[in-house]
Amino acid sequence: MKAWVAKMTEEHLDEDAIRRAGEILKDGGLVAFPTETVYGLGGNALDAEASRKIYAAKGRPSDNPLIVHIARMEDLEIVARNIPDNARKLAQECWPGPLTMILEKTEVVPLATTGGLNTVAVRFPRNRIAQALIQSAGDFVAAPSANTSGRPSPTTAAHVIEDLGDRIDCILDGGMVEIGLESTIVDFTEKTPMILRPGYLNRERLEQILGTVKVDPGILAEEPAVRPKAPGMRYKHYAPKADLTIVEGPEEKVVQKIRELAEEQIARGLTVGIICTDETRRKYSAGDVKSIGARSEEASIARHLYGILREFDGDHVDVIYSEAFDTPKMGQAIMNRLLKAAGHKLIEA
Ligand code: AMP
Ligand code: MG
């Protein structure tokens, strides 16, 4: 089976393709679609069999729960119950948008969708293609990222085709995504809301709305004393084929250190990739050098991260050195993904 691909933009939806894709989902099939964060692999969230198909297509462990996507505020009540007031408040402020909330689930959500948990992850995405598809599919679409398990999340339809093109029914191609990192996950099942996965909405922003917000201690260290609460954060994720090391410190020193390391490896006969920024691009002479975007424009760094990791897989380099990207707003989210991809190999220059 080869997936059929329908191209469209948020401004000009292909209504006919969305109707057909909605039918596929209602019939238990799988459709990949763009959201503002990354591409999702959708199945009917209320159909246990469809959820099993998602796990199989991705090669994802079945104890790693899926996010249920909705396209109307009031649909939250159908999949979640005992919703605390602060969760409602956050939804009012941040939905539609890159926010996922963990809440107690209702009976309509099968355990196959929640990885056996009594809680459910819910998101109302802002992307209009995603919203139209969810509505045409009957309002509840389970969707993890549309990549093969262990590969970087897809930020273009081409990435989805590369990983899943012959395992799913249809792909809605809405061009490159806007944000490029997965949604912020906030857990509301305990007293104080807790960030289980950092994303575009950072702790400062959440605290403006909610007051005190904790960060899951399990996501901060390489081998934390506590296990991350989100099952997906426990797996080794986003790992490029090459051995990736991050170098942090003042810009001049970082550039010098990466240049030295690259030269050493090249002298040993290895091929080297370098992830830098527009600001430092011309300071590197050896190796396969790729700029991730402008440091002065952190959104461009987030958007290009996964694409660059995929490019290096295609280039078959042996080692990659990356500058660190502790940018002001999304730095936590970017470094969380990059550190995981690097297996936490970080050098101080
Ligand atoms: P993905 O959609 O591939 O970005 O993955 C969804 C993420 O949400 C994974 O890290 C899951 O472990 C996490 N998640 C989904 N449902 C729950 C839940 N009920 N409790 C905790 N984490 C969840
Ligand atoms: Mg994922």
Q: What is the pLDDT of residues 317-327, one digit of tens each?
A: 999 999 999 88
User: In percent, how much of the chain has pLDDT > 90?
Assistant: 86
Express each pLDDT in 47-93 by its tens digit. 999 999 999 999 988 889 999 999 999 999 999 999 999 999 999 99
Which tokens hold the place of 338?
């990059």
pLDDT at 319: 97
In 46-193, DSSP assigns E strands to 67-69, 80-81, 99-105, 119-123, 141-142, 170-173, 184-187
d(CA 303, CA 299): 6
Chain-wide mean pLDDT for the chain? 95
Pocket test for ligand 1, best of 38, 66, 159, 188 (most atoms within 8 A of CB): 66
pLDDT (average), residues 126-150: 96
Q: What is the pLDDT of residue 150?
A: 84
pLDDT at 349 over 80: yes
Helix axis angle for 298-315 and 157-164, nearest 10°, is: 30
123 a known binding residue? yes
Query: Whose alpha carbon is nearest atom 3 of ligand 1?
Result: 144
112 Cα–ligand 1 center, Å: 13
For position 236, what pLDDT does the model report? 61
- Rounded to 10 deg, the angle between the 85-94 and 203-210 helix axes is 120
What's the average model confidence in pLDDT over 118-146? 98
Measured from the alpha carbon of residue 61, the closest ligand is 1
* Ligand with an atom nearest the CA of residue 230: 1
Of all residues in the chain, what percent carry a pLDDT higher than 70?
Answer: 97
Q: Which residue has the tokens 């080794």?
A: 236
pLDDT at 98 over 80: yes
pLDDT digits (tens, 9 = 90+) for 219-238: 876 666 778 898 888 766 66
The single-letter code of the amino acid at 57 is A
pLDDT at 235: 64
pLDDT tens digits along 3-48? 999 999 999 999 999 999 999 999 999 999 999 999 999 999 999 9
Whether pLDDT at 339 is above 70: yes
Contact 93, 201 (CB under 8 A): no
Side-chain-facing half-sphere of 272: CA atoms under 13 Å: 23
pLDDT at 177 over 70: yes
C-alpha distances out from residue 25 to 19, 139, 170, 268, 299, Å: 10, 10, 10, 52, 32
> What's the confidence (pLDDT) of residue 224?
65
- Whether ligand 1 lies within 6 angstroms of the CB of 121 is answered as yes
Task: Dump pLDDT digits (tens) for 237-285.
Answer: 667 889 999 999 999 999 999 999 999 999 999 999 999 999 999 999 9
